[in-house]
Structure 1
Amino acid sequence: MHQMKTKHRSFLSFLCFIIVSLVFALSDCAVSSGDHFVYHGFAGVNLTLDGNALVTPDGLLELTNDTVNLGHAFYPTPLSFNTQQRPNGTVRSFSVSFVFAILSVHADISADGMAFFVAPTKNLSNTWAQYIGLLNSGNDGNTSNHMFAVELDTTQNDEFKDIDNNHVGINIDSLTSLRAHHTGYYGGDDSGSFSNLTLISGKAMQVWADYHGETTQIEVRLAPAGAAKPARPLLSAVCNLSAVLVSDKSYIGFSATTGAISTRHCVLGWSFAMDGPAPAIDLSKLPELPRLGPKPRSKVLEITLPIATGLFVLAVGLVVVLLAYRRLRYKEVKEDWEVDFGPHRFSFKDLFHATGGFRKKNLLGVGGFGQVYKGVLPESRAEVAVKRVSHESRQGMKEFIAEVVSIGRLRHRNIVPLLGYCRREGELLLVYDYMSNGSLAQHLYSEGGQQPALGSWAQRFRIVKGVAAGLLYLHEKWEKVVVHRDIKPSNVLLDSEMNGRIGDFGLSRLYDHGTDPQTTHMVGTMGYLAPELVRSGKASPSTDVFAFGVLLLEITCAQRPVLRQQQQQHTLMDWVLEHWQNGLLAETVDPSLRKDYNLDEACLALKLGLLCSHPFVSARPTMRQVMQYLEGDAAIPELTPTHFSFTMQALTRQDEGFESPSSMLDPPLLTTSMGTFSSLSGGR
């Protein structure tokens, strides 16, 4: 009996030891109670994940992995930031800290970034990648978002007024930061010196964000993982969150997106507290980051390498032959001056393998200046479009490449990004982001060239406004003036959401604001060339406006710029103008829409198309005015069909340097139709 009691006590002691061990083991991972918690890794942690977010077996939270994607991670229980019991309805003080790392396949470029956020809902499905998975173009800046975020941005986007491609920002209801600062930290006391940090370094860093409810002060600090919390904040702003976090319950979490550059956004540890400082994170308990670069050489290889030397000597001859073959196969043209453009240059080998050797099955289209192929870059797995352009002359090539690289810095949601270039023997290869829905021309005309394939009028009008916004950015909003010189449906590409983006900058030219363009060589596509461009060869933003006017008529009517009827050739502008003169303007709208469209918008598009494609430069609006007309911020001038009729004498006077007076547009001078002058542009 005594023996049985002894065994019973031993068993109970062992059971208690197991239970205590489990409690201590769990406490190493997470401590969570009420309105505060701390996670040392996320193995076994109850998080709400969506998109491509996942927790690895080691406990690392990966918001994005090595594919183009978006991911969210939420603390599953809503928190009460704003309660009626608070004095004057103030938001409670709160503090958050987390350890993160951003790992990019490239050492000097990444996309798009990550953020800690507070939001009224866990449903962020209707968000876009360029908005870090938090918002979209329709709700960015709306006060109804009730969202607070601390962004870690690795892409400079002029649309959001980003200061650079490596900054930290405080955001309220918008991706345009309330405050932003280049990434780094202040060491020592309040007067400590500033030390730079790089978000995409692949190294772990720690963020502290504190909100003081009484003073409405927001402070954000950042430092390398393992360093003490800086005394001086990197960012500080006064903002009363009572008008932002108005919901009784709000959710906290992380969001991250990556574009064409494959990037991993990782969170290693996370702590949060309401009405007090966030619990300290023990870095020794955090999971390890994935290894960057190749694995270390095996010890077995080091031992067997001397043995393999004999075999290597025997294989030298074959290797020399293979290397010579590969060198000829992938031979590129490289000169000393191209060192400056290194980051923007792709190897021909990578582009060759990306396009499957430029196989016919990957051919997207053929134009007057080359062929375009779809490709997948070997390392990043990003989809690209590669255009092969023949060039026999080396004259001006350095200047052309310089402009290609400069244009490659354009960043706008309605511009197809130009990623870089490659030169090989007698050809130039331009690399763009791949647009999954092809060109507008493919949707506007079927293979037979008659029946449009575009859907609703609202979709067409959105594409029109997108192209107009892109041209306004090129003409006025970028650091230089960019003249595209080849606006047409085949150069308007459609992304996965059918947004219109301007592409193919192979003919573009740029110059400083306030100066005149110097180009005197006429290039472009017949049917979209302004009369003054045909006469002088001098391209300007106004010649882009002319081509946009033709494009606007083409989208509305689903007709080519040159119409052939009963063995006669007419311009689309003449055809629309003739119907307007006869009171039949609405009959020019694409009949496939079956009158299911906004008549006012369609008539606005037709009249604006005629105004933009006016032969007189002085009569055309700027793209800023065009956007005002399309958005309804300004009324289009009162126009009648007679405003588009004038004499040959009037046009001659303008050629000689005279501005076109209003008398040129008076009805008594109606002698020659617009087709006399627009026919200078020819067919397509």
Structure 2
Amino acid sequence: MAFRYTDLVHATKNFSDKLGGGGFGSVYKGVLSDSTCIAVKRLDGVSQGEKQFRAEVSSIGLIQHINIVKLIGFCCEGDKRLLVYEHMINGSLDSLLFKKSSGNDVVLNWNTRYQITLGVARGLSYLHQSCRECIIHCDIKPENILVDASFLPKVADFGLAALVGRNCSRVLTTFRGTAGYLAPEWLSGVAITPKIDVYSFGMVLLEVISGSRNSPETYNTSGSYYVKYFPIQAIDKLHEGDVRSLVDPQLHGDFNLAEAERLCKVAFWCIQDNEFDRPTMGEVVRILEGLQDTSMPPIPRLLAAMMQEGDAPSSMLSCRC
């Protein structure tokens, strides 16, 4: 549906209720004349805004899937580029996952976390394997996973997405994505495959398990700086058979250990250095559904190198400055 700019100004009360923002623009809450709640993304910058606008409309404009956010319409008047989405009342996964429990803040229970990961996996599997053209999202992270009133997850923000024809397996594209979720092949400049989304999904899984960012935390010990990186700790504990210690302490032990082990194994298969060692998202779905077994993953080479760096313990990366 094509919207007039004045209609969106009215619906958002002149863009007064901001839901969030990013490198390409901001998102505002609005209400249409039929009382439908919407989220309006107003893109900034003539060049980048146009690129993201075209990428989102072309990639998800015709997609209908329960785990993909619905694009209701758009506005294209002069230099104004706006996208209109269904509004997700529970916001993005990062806002639910990383806020600390205090007062009335709700901690995501284990079953909700597991169902969210399964829903995201199904959405990505659909994009990679069931669309007319394979769609590579290129920026899977908690901020781009929205959650509705029933905690149903929906993959969102396709501004960096790349389309790959069904007769192709790779596509050359400019470097994109978010640090911390980027597959190693991005750095080599080779043509990418859907396996970059698989890698990012694996990093998200580790954050869902721990309830914390994978990002390194720096400590100063006797004049040396040490960086604690959760994936290193996690692969160690997985191989030791101690997954229990990796699960978000805010759950107070109320979780399914078998499912936690399954998520952890899937996560490390997804972040293997070699893309050919990673599963497809279809295989991930079958594993999470309990329809397919998975073996113990090897330690990714990059993590192994980090574990051996300096004199730090195996769960720490020495980073003397």
Q: Give the structure-1-normalised TM-score.
A: 0.42
Instruction: Report the alpha carbon displacement of residue 391 of structure 1 after superposing the two structures with TM.
Output: 2.8
Q: State the distance in 2 between where 1:458 and 1:441 align.
A: 17
Question: Which residue of structure 2 aligns with residue 496 of structure 1?
Answer: 149
| Partner in structure 1 of residue 285 of structure 2 | 627
Residue among 262, 266, 270 paired with 1:608? 266
**1:443-488 CA distance string (max 9 Å, x none):** 1021799xx8433211110111000010011000111101111111
CA distance in 2 between counterparts of 1:385 and 1:619 reads 38
Contact 2:198 2:281 (C-alpha < 8 Å) held by counterparts: yes
In 2: Cα distance, 1:675 partner to 1:363 partner: 45
Deviation at 1:569, TM superposition (A): 2.7
Q: Secondary structure at the match of 1:526?
A: coil
Q: Secondary structure at the match of 1:621?
A: coil
In 2, the alpha carbon distance for the partners of 1:508 and 1:410 equals 14
Deviation of the 1:506 alpha carbon: 1.6
After superposition, the C-alpha distances for 1:38-78 in whole angstroms (9 at most, x for unaligned) are xxxxxxxxxxxxxxxxxxxxxxxxxxxxxxxxxxxxxxxxx
* Aligned-pair CA distance for 1:636: 0.7
1:672 is matched with which residue: 305, 312, 321? 305
Q: In structure 1, how many angstroms separate the alpha carbons of the residues matched to 2:66 and 2:308?
A: 36
Structure whose CA Rg is larger: 1
Q: How far apart are the structure 2 equivalents of 1:613 and 1:402?
A: 26
Matching of residue 439 in structure 1 with residue 92 in structure 2? yes
Q: What's the CA shift string for 1:87-119, capped at 9, x where partnerless? A: xxxxxxxxxxxxxxxxxxxxxxxxxxxxxxxxx
Q: Is 1:590 matched with 2:245?
A: no
Aligned residue identity for 2:86:
D
2:59 corresponds to 1:369: no
| Aligned counterparts, 1:100-179, within 5 A | none
Per the TM alignment, residue 421 of structure 1 is displaced from its structure 2 partner at its CA by 2.1
1:295-314 aligned within 5 A? none
Where do 1:336-375 residues align within 5 Å?
A: 344-359=1-16, 362-375=17-30
Q: In 1, Cα distance between the equivalents of 2:272 and 2:48?
A: 38
Contact preservation (8 Å) 1:520, 1:538: yes
Match of 1:134 in 2: none
Q: Give yes or no for contact 1:414–1:502 (8 Å, CA) kept in 2.
A: yes
Does the 8 A contact of 2:69 with 2:86 survive in 1? yes
3-state SS of 1:420 partner: strand
- Pick from 636, 646, 660: which aligns with 2:294? 636
CA contact (8 A) 1:485 1:539 kept: no
The residue type equivalent to 1:384 in the other structure is: I
Using a 3 Å threshold, how does the CA distance of structure 1 residues 673 and 394 change in structure 2: closer, same or farther?
A: closer
Summarize deviations over 1:378-415 as a string: whole Å, max 9, x none: 3x321111112213228975x96376145211101111
Distance (Å, rounded) in 1 between the aligned partners of 2:278 and 2:22: 29
Contact kept in structure 2, 1:391 and 1:428, CA below 8 Å = no
Q: How many angstroms does 1:425 deviate by?
A: 5.2
**Rounded Cα–Cα distance in structure 2 between residues aligned with 1:537 and 1:369:** 25
User: Could you tell me which amino acid in structure 2 is paired with residue 627 of structure 1?
Assistant: V
TM-superposed deviation, 1:429: 1.4
1-structure distance, mates of 2:308, 2:203: 13
1:596 CA displacement = 0.9
Structure 1 position 509 matched with structure 2 position 162: yes
Distance 1:632 1:495 in 2: 25
Q: In the alignment, is residue 391 of structure 1 matched against residue 45 of structure 2?
A: yes
> Secondary structure of the equivalent of 1:597?
coil
Please show how residues 410-559 of structure 1 align to structure 2 within 5 Å: 410-424=63-77, 426-446=79-99, 453-536=106-189, 538-559=191-212
Of all paired residues, the percent bearing the same amino acid is 37
Aligned partners of 1:421 and 1:428 also within 8 Å: yes
Which structure ranks higher in relative contact order (CA pairs < 8 Å, sequence separation ≥ 6)?
Answer: 2
1:294 aligned partner = none
Q: For 1:200-232, what per-residue CA distance to the aligned partner results, in whole angstroms no more than 9, with x for missing partners?
A: xxxxxxxxxxxxxxxxxxxxxxxxxxxxxxxxx
Matches of 1:610 and 1:412, distance apart in 2 = 27
Given residue 22 of structure 2, which amino acid in structure 1 is its aligned partner?
Answer: G
SS at match of 2:235: helix
1:289-308 CA distance string (max 9 Å, x none): xxxxxxxxxxxxxxxxxxxx
Give the Cα–Cα distance (whole angstroms) in 2 for the partners of residues 547 and 463 of structure 1.
Answer: 15
Counterpart-to-counterpart distance in 1, 2:154 and 2:39: 14
Per residue, is there more strand in 1 or in 2?
A: 1
Change (3 A) 1:565 1:577: farther
1:442 Cα deviation after fit = 1.1
Deviation at 1:420, TM superposition (A): 2.5
Q: Which residue of 2 aligns with 1:561?
A: 214
User: After the TM superposition, which segments of 4 or more aligned residues of structure 1 sit over 6 Å from their partners?
Assistant: none
Query: Deviations along 1:477-534, whole A, 9 cap, x unmatched?
Result: 1111011111111111111111111111121121221314434211111111111013
Offset at 1:645?
4.7
* Secondary structure in structure 1 of the residue aligned to 2:175: coil
Mapped partners of 1:488, 1:527: distance in 2: 9
Q: 1:571 & 1:548 partners in 2: Cα distance?
A: 17
What is the number of residues matched between the two proteins? Answer: 303
The answer to whether the 8 Å contact 1:571/1:675 transfers is no
Q: Aligned pair in 2 of structure 1 residues 366, 400: CA closer, same or farther (>3 Å)?
A: closer
Q: Is the 8 A contact 2:198 2:280 kept in 1?
A: yes
Q: State the Cα deviation string for residues 154-178 of structure 1 (Å, max 9, x = none).
A: xxxxxxxxxxxxxxxxxxxxxxxxx
Distance in 2 between residues matched to 1:605 and 1:395, nearest whole Å? 36
Q: CA deviation at 1:675?
A: 9.0
Deviation of the 1:370 alpha carbon? 1.7
Distance 2:28 2:308 in 1: 38
- SS of the equivalent of 1:493 reads strand
Q: CA 1:489/1:396 → structure 2, altered by over 3 Å: closer, same or farther?
A: closer
Asked if structure 1 preserves the Cα contact closer than 8 Å seen for 2:66 and 2:154, the reply is: yes
- How far does residue 563 in structure 1 lie from its aligned partner after superposition? 2.7
- State how far apart, in whole Å, the 2-side matches of 1:404 and 1:587 are: 43
Aligned mates of 1:421, 1:534 — CA distance in 2: 34
